[in-house]
Copies of this chain bind each other. A is one copy, B any other.
Amino acid sequence: MTLADTTDAAERMALTLAQGGMQKATARVLAGLLFADSESVTAPELADGLGISSGSVSGAIKMLSTVGLIERVPAPGSRREHYRLRDGAWATLMSTQNGMVQAMFEAADQGIDAAGRDSVAGRRLEEMRDFYGFMFRELPALVERWRAERAGRRAE
């Protein structure tokens, strides 16, 4: 295992995240935080390590903080800002994506109102609304189940 190997793995992960819709610089910053050797990382370390501008790092940190994936670390030795992945970040990311499910549900619902319940389109839209309604109800429960299982495993 060499440093290059972890860098490669980090870059592959960034690529995967980017394919999921995250912008590239943001994905690389997130991967950088994931693969960091230390508990937390500063913005200049990220910029240097990834070879991107401080502006890009700033934007990425802002975005990742907003959606709750990373957090400022309360200054270990009162130095500059340090950042790290938040505990439960992945569950957070999935919950965020659940907003998409909700949007689909609402779009279907509005569609039914517009097209009429008894039209051909109305029946199609009802299947859609049913499906996303179900998912919107069940996905949070699934995430919760993971949290519970994880807590259980840790308590052992």
**Interface: A48 (CB within 8 A):** no
CA distance A17 to B107 in the complex (A): 10
Residues of A bordering B, CB below 8 Å: 1, 5-6, 8-10, 12-13, 16-17, 19-21, 34-39, 85, 90-91, 94, 100, 103-104, 107-108, 110-111, 113-116, 119-121, 124-125, 127-128, 130-132, 134-135, 138-139, 142, 145-146, 149-150
CA distance A120 to B12 in the complex (A): 19
B146 touches A131 (CB 8 A): yes
Of B1, B17, B21, which is within 8 A of A114 by CB? B1
A34, A39, A120, A145, most chain B CB atoms within 10 A: A34
Residues in B whose Cβ lies below 8 Å from that of A113: 1, 9
B150 touches A130 (CB 8 A): yes
A36, A111, A138, most chain B CB atoms within 10 A: A111
Of B8, B100, B103, B121, which is within 8 A of A6 by CB? B121
State how many angstroms separate the Cβ of A38 from the closest Cβ of chain B. Answer: 7
